[in-house]
């Protein structure tokens, strides 16, 4: 009942990029130092974020990363989806083969309530809001 390391790292990475206003670009080294994320693992994530178009990379000396899609338009839900980490509608609590509205398991109603709440939180939390003033990252 938790997010993968990759998802958690990504949320913090992107939020840190929002807060980095000094120059336009930020390097993998800086991010790794800021967030205490293993450098080699971070670069692997970065390459994936470039591939899917969340961010852009500039190679070579003085290179680094910057947003391609604005941070206000990237949600936590988007990130979870990218890393196959989101709560799927059909993926339910006891994973019973044939379950539907008529035949429920005992946990169904309560689980659905929490599930919707979490899905809403993920969908409504943008990277910009994560990075907002005063929040720990």
Partner DNA sequence: TTTAATTACTACCCTAAGGTAGAATTAAAT
Partner DNA sequence: ATTTAATTCTACCTTAGGGTAGTAATTAAA
Contacting residues toward a copy of itself, per CB under 8 A: 1-3, 5, 8, 11-12, 36, 76, 85-87, 91, 93-97, 99, 103-107, 110-111, 113-114, 117-118, 121, 125, 129-132, 135-137
* Partner from a copy of itself, DNA, ligand SF4, none contacting 121, C-beta within 5 to 8 A by type: a copy of itself
For 1-60, the DSSP string reads ----HHHHHHHHHHHHHHH--SSS-B-HHHHHHHHT--HHHHHHHHHHHHHTTSEEEE-S
Structure tokens at 54: 């969340």
Question: CB of 99: closest distance to DNA in angstroms?
Answer: 18
* Partner from a copy of itself, DNA, ligand SF4, none contacting 117, C-beta within 5 to 8 A by type: a copy of itself
Count other C-beta atoms under 10 Å from residue 94's C-beta: 11
Residue 97 found at the interface with DNA (CB under 7 A): no
Residues β-bridged to residue 56: 66
Nearest to 10 by CA among 117, 86, 100, 82: 82
Answer for which of 19, 43, 119, 129 binds DNA (CB under 7 A) is 43
Residue numbers of the site for DNA (CB under 7 A)? 4-6, 9, 27-29, 38-41, 43-44, 46-47, 50, 57-65, 83-84
């Amino acid at each position: 009942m938790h997010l993968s390391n990759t998802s958690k790292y990504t949320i913090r990475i992107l939020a840190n990029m929002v807060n980095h206003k000094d120059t336009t670009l930020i390097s993998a080294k800086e991010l790794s130092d800021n967030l205490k994320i293993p450098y080699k693992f971070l670069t692997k994530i970065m390459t994936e974020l470039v591939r899917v178009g969340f961010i852009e990379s500039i190679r070579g000396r003085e290179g680094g990363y910057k947003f391609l899609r604005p941070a206000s338009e990237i949600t936590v839900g988007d990130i979870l989806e990218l890393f196959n980490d989101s709560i799927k509608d059909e993926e339910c609590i006891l994973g019973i083969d044939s379950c539907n509205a008529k035949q429920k398991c005992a946990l169904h109603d309560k689980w659905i309530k929490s599930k919707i709440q979490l899905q809403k939180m993920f969908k409504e939390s943008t990277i910009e809001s994560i990075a907002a003033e005063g929040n720990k990252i």
